[in-house]
Structures are given as C-alpha cells and as structure tokens.
Amino acid sequence: MDYRQANLKVVVLEIGWYQFHQFLAYKMAAAGGEIRLVSAAHTSTTCSCCGTNDKTNRKSQAVYECADCGSAMNADTNAAVNILLAGTRPAKAKRPRAASRRASRLEASAQAA
C-alpha cells in the first residue's frame, strides 16, 4: 500500500463511505464526469470473456478458469474486468446471457457445416 492508498483509507475511515461518495460525486461533476456504482456480486464467478457464471470456474483464490470458453486468468483480474465492463456498459444494455451466447455459437456452427 503506497502513501496515497494509505491516505485514501484514512479518509474513508474518518468520514465514512457515504460522505466519501458525496465528495467524489461533487468532484466528478465539477470535472464533467460521473460516478457509477457497480455491485460486486458475482464478479469473481463470472467469466469476463463469455459471461458464464459458474462458481466452479474459480479454481482457487488466485486462479479463474472458464469451463465454457476456456479462458484462464488471475481471479482478481477477471473480477476487475467484470467490474470495468459493468461500469462502462450503457445503462440499458446488458451482456447476453451465457445460454443465449452458446445458442448463437451452435447456430453459427450449424450454418457453417
């Protein structure tokens, strides 16, 4: 943890998350940005490549391997990409569900054959 991270931790502990959010929202609005809150639920068990959500894909605290698409990466990196995708995705759009993606792949392979 570097100096800035330690300072941020102290600030959050002193003023609380709600007030920290208020300050951050104020600063972001002044800078022309916005804050998007992202739920951390299922970010560690969802594949950031194909969207499959299966808790058995998380092989250990550090290893994530998707049984559906075969992607393998650090589990924290996978969760961070999921949070990034959730935060940058347009509000109404949702990632296609894994089942519908599998159905699309099956259709594509059936047409190719």
List contacts with Zn ion (CB under 5 A). 47, 49-50, 52, 66, 68-69
Q: Pairing state of beta strands 63-65 and 72-74?
A: antiparallel
Distance in Å, CB of 84 to Zn ion, minimum: 16
**DSSP per residue, 21-52:** HHHHHHHHHHTT--------TTTTTB-TTT--
3-state secondary structure of 28: helix
φ, ψ of residue 105 to 5 degrees: the values are -65, -40
Distance in Å, CB of 108 to Zn ion, minimum: 17
φ, ψ of residue 106 to 5 degrees: the values are -65, -40
Dist. CA 59–CA 57, nearest whole Å: 6
Distance in Å, CB of 46 to Zn ion, minimum: 9
Considering the complex, state which of residue 12 and residue 67 has its C-beta at the smaller distance from Zn ion.
67
Considering the complex, state which of residue 49 and residue 85 has its C-beta at the smaller distance from Zn ion.
49
Distance in Å, CB of 11 to Zn ion, minimum: 37
Considering the complex, state which of residue 19 and residue 74 has its C-beta at the smaller distance from Zn ion.
74
Considering the complex, state which of residue 20 and residue 53 has its C-beta at the smaller distance from Zn ion.
53
